[in-house]
Amino acid sequence: MKKRWHILAPDIHSIKNISNALKLSSITSSVLVNRGINSPEQALSFIHVSMEDIRSPFEIKDIDTAVNRIYAAIINKEKILVFGDYDADGITATAILVEFLLYAGVNTDYYIPHRKMEGYGLQTRHISEYAVPNQTNLIITVDCGSSSHDAILAAKQAGIDVIVTDHHNISENLPGAAAVVNPKRHDCDSCFSDLSGVGMAFCLLICLRKYMRDAGFWQNIPEPNLKNACDLVALGTMADIVPLIHENRILVKAGLDIMKYGKRPGVLALIKASKINKATVTEEDIAFKLAPRLNAAGRIDHAKVAVELLMEKNHENAINIAQSLNKMNTRRQKIEQKILDDIESYLNEHTKILDKKSLVLADERWDEGVLGIVASKLVDKYFRPVVLFAVTDDTGKGSARSIPGFDLYGGLQSCSSYLESFGGHKMAAGLKIKSIEINSFKKAFDDAVAKMTKSEDFRPLLRIDREIDFDDISENLLDEIEQLKPFGSGNAEPVFMSRHINVISSDIVGKNHRRMRLNQDSEKKNTVFNAIRFNMDPGFECLDHFKKIAYQLRWNQWNGQKSVQLIITDAQS
């Protein structure tokens, strides 16, 4: 799909100030200003961010109440159950909280529901069938719980307190828990609304550790170093695609450092199974290699396998579990591809469906565990909100993904009368529906999309940080760009544009990646750069000249050597 190119126009005065004060190139300074960093002080803080820059989580509503209740449980030797979600965010949140409590000598258990057999979130049956028989005194939810009103009531009636820690959208009608620690509460004025589920769990631990310190708890055992848990926080944060700004960026950056030098057997085994160079692990490696393998457990089998991996102390056992996750991930890819092929065949036969503003499909043969990934790929290709339902008996369980111009959660709210339940945020959601209501929902949802969007929302926007010449590209520039990492949602990798580009040589590598050597007509040095364009349409013509290209600049590391490489994101002939 043809993209809209928009070249950003940052304030020239701010660029000069940052460039002069920090001795940065004007190109890197432009990138900083494009991200809302307008002074040398802000730029310096952004580049040299550290754990010390994390703001006080005690600002989060109810977190003090939660800490008091957890500490009382610790002192009174109560049994605590950590209840997590089955995705990578919930898995990592469960692991860091259980690990901390066990270290503190607490009688701790954890529970992850089976995605297909139990579904999302804390439910009444988890109280009657697990918490009560196991003599649980306190339940702490991570990455879920905000909508578990009935289950929390059932727990209260059974004499069990519940503390909710979550980051999903929450209604004004709060569940009756002992504490609801969710920065998206309407009465919470904290600055932590962008945190992931594992980020919330980490903030809880910051506050709990300090409370225990003030109470003299750590006199007999060393106080735990929470930075060592940042490898798992980075995993969950990147997997959940929350904005990489403020605390999220700090935690991911710290987590990448821990991964490079850390010794956690589960993460080491996962890195090895993913064929990643530990010394150069990146945020991209987390997003596209590590997180999918963790998520595969919940999609194909049971997510508790992934928790076991992250908490495993024995290296050999960790390697075996990581290999089993590898196999699950391969199976997940095959299932996902089969569904994509089915949908493409269907759309080829029913082309008028693509005249709609949204794409809502359902099938009895689909595996609900992979529908979110499939929906994301369809959004990438057709650039419209997508909802997919796997239908079993009379019920459809679905995953939805959106485009930047459409608030998915708001759209689903307007169609909630057709749904049994739903939850999520602006870009992603899970939902449940009676199959008899799917056609009515399809029309209502498409109407909602039409009302809440503009025509330009259905054409991808490519934001370009700056137009540069090949003469401007240097090793120093790439080193400066490296300082702006980690990149992700909210801190996008810089995109540059150059004109009049010649393709000196070209070949196809892998299935459909075009590898090229490029130079520029007007470039004085006549420098040739290696470039690659990923996932091209197999029928795309291999041109020998482009009027302009949009690209990212990266170091290509191979056999201990590194060279400049252009990653082509779009081109115009």
* H/E element, 499: strand 496-509
Predicted confidence at residue 538, as pLDDT, reads 61
Q: Quick check: helix, strand or coil at residue 408? A: helix
498 lies in the same domain as 442:
no
Per residue in 234-281, pLDDT (tens digit) is 999 999 989 999 999 999 999 999 999 989 999 999 999 999 999 999
Mean of pLDDT over the chain: 95
Q: Which residues, in sequence order, are CB contacts of 545 under 8 Å at separation 6+?
A: 500, 501, 502, 503, 573
Residues linked to residue 7 through DSSP beta bridges, in sequence order: 464
Give the neighbor-by-neighbor strand order of the sheet with 395-401: 359-363, 386-392, 395-401, 428-434, 421-424
44 lies in the same domain as 140:
no
Domain end point (choices 323, 338, 358): 323
Q: Would 339 be classed as within a structural domain?
A: no
Predicted confidence at residue 156, as pLDDT, reads 98
525 lies in the same domain as 426:
no
> Where residue 217 sits, what CATH number does that domain have?
3.90.1640.30
Q: Would 31 be classed as within a structural domain?
A: yes
How far apart are alpha carbons 387 and 170 in whole angstroms? 21
> Where residue 10 sits, what CATH number does that domain have?
2.40.50.460
How far apart are alpha carbons 65 and 544 in whole angstroms? 65
Which segments of the chain have a pLDDT < 70?
Answer: 523, 538-541
Give the count of domains, the chain: 3
195 lies in the same domain as 77:
yes
Predicted confidence at residue 464, as pLDDT, reads 98
How far apart are alpha carbons 188 and 181 in whole angstroms? 9
172 lies in the same domain as 223:
yes
Q: What is the pTM of this model?
A: 0.92
The pairing of beta strand 561-572 with beta strand 428-434: unpaired
Contact 154, 124 (CB under 8 A): yes
467 lies in the same domain as 436:
no
Q: Would 336 be classed as within a structural domain?
A: no
227 lies in the same domain as 282:
yes
188 lies in the same domain as 66:
yes
Contact 51, 249 (CB under 8 A): no
442 lies in the same domain as 473:
no
> Where residue 386 sits, what CATH number does that domain have?
3.10.310.30
Predicted confidence at residue 539, as pLDDT, reads 57
Per residue in 425-447, pLDDT (tens digit) is 889 999 999 999 999 999 999 99
Predicted confidence at residue 566, as pLDDT, reads 98
Domain that holds residue 388: 350-458
Q: Would 344 be classed as within a structural domain?
A: no
Domain end point (choices 323, 338, 364): 323
